[in-house]
């Protein structure tokens, strides 16, 4: 049970009750969320851990990408990590806190002539979510550059683990299994040439603009690539580009994107996901696994 006065006592104006998911998700869909909080200290994370332990469901998000919240809403707590926003540079390592957007990481790298992270250009979201999901592009993943991570585990202990002590996979880390909250990551960088770094980022962004529907609300790629294949190609070859339910549509630009044309509901998007999975299963006998997280109740 959520105790409003207790939450207000901890977070004050950094707690919002009965907020629309449309306002903080990149899909711009979803119902009412019981509580949204903006934690900024480890003590506040400990408080959320205690609530979660007592049966209140707590979900951490960054920019609201890579998630789909039910039209029925969510009766737990959404904790938005934007106040964990520091970047520190020392001895060829960045210590980046979980709420920092990836585009701001790249801005810091350009300003300080640091290379190795250009492959993150155009990936939506924050450092915390990208670590949990081992985000990446162009055959590189964030796990390739991680040195160590600090997190609160699901037993309530603050821990620091080196990269090699974490199990990584394609769009996967086992932190999802035992980490309650990722606080920061130490990431390897190298001094480089600012002009070359900017050109690399520009080239990657140019390709994304050409190939992805960045002008519409979406959550990024919907499905993980199955082994030895590409989800977008399978969807496109199944004739599903442009498939539409309500105001949700499979993008004609990139078939692994579902876009909101204006007034889509989460249910519209979910129905398209189910239709895609069913079609690909029948045509190729492949089970497409969602890359996005569903929050709340779906049919």
Q: Which residues are catalytic?
A: 171, 221, 291
- Based on the number of CB atoms within 10 Å of its own CB, is 8 exposed (0-12), middle (13-18) or buried (19 or more)? middle
d(CA 200, CA 208): 13
Residue 44 CB neighbours (<10 A): 17
d(CA 261, CA 251): 10
State which H helix or E strand residue 189 sits in.
none
Whether 213 and 254 have beta carbons less than 8 Å apart is answered as: yes
34 is written with which tokens? 């019981």
Residues in the chain: 299
d(CA 161, CA 182): 11
Read off φ and ψ for residue 280, nearest 5 degrees.
-65, -35
d(CA 161, CA 230): 32
Whether 129 and 292 have beta carbons less than 8 Å apart is answered as: no
d(CA 297, CA 299): 7
Measured in whole angstroms, the distance separating CA 198 from the mean position of its chain's CA atoms is 24
128 phi-psi bin (left φ>0, alpha ψ -120 to 50, beta other): alpha
Whether 213 and 251 have beta carbons less than 8 Å apart is answered as: yes
Whether 218 and 257 have beta carbons less than 8 Å apart is answered as: yes
- Shortest CA distance to 35 belongs to which of 67, 75, 71, 66? 75
């Amino acid at each position: 049970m959520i105790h409003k006065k207790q939450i207000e006592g901890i977070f004050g104006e950094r707690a919002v009750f009965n907020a629309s998911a449309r306002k903080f998700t990149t899909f711009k869909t979803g119902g009412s969320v019981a509580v949204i909080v903006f934690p900024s200290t480890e003590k506040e994370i400990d408080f959320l851990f205690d609530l979660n332990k007592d049966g209140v469901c707590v979900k951490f998000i960054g920019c609201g990408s890579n998630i789909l919240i039910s039209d029925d809403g969510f009766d737990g707590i959404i904790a938005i990590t934007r106040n964990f926003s520091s970047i520190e540079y020392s001895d060829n390592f960045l210590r980046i806190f979980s709420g920092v957007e990836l585009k701001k990481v790249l801005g810091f790298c350009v300003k300080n002539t640091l290379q190795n992270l250009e492959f993150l250009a155009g990936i939506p979201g924050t450092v915390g979510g990208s670590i949990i999901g081992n985000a990446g592009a162009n055959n590189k993943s964030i796990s390739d550059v991680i040195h160590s991570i600090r997190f609160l585990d699901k037993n309530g202990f603050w821990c620091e683990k080196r990269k090699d002590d974490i199990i990584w996979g394609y769009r996967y880390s086992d932190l999802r299994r035992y980490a309650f909250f990722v606080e920061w990551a130490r990431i390897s960088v190298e001094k480089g040439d600012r002009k070359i770094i900017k050109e690399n980022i520009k080239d990657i962004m140019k390709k994304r603009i050409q190939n992805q529907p960045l002008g519409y609300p979406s959550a990024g790629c919907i499905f993980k690539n199955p082994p030895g294949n590409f989800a977008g190609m399978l969807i496109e070859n199944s004739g599903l580009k442009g498939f539409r339910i309500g105001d949700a549509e499979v993008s004609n630009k990139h078939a692994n994107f579902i876009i909101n044309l204006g007034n889509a509901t989460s249910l519209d998007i979910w129905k398209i996901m189910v239709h895609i999975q069913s079609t690909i299963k029948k045509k190729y006998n492949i089970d497409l696994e969602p890359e996005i997280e569903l929050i709340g109740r779906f049919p």
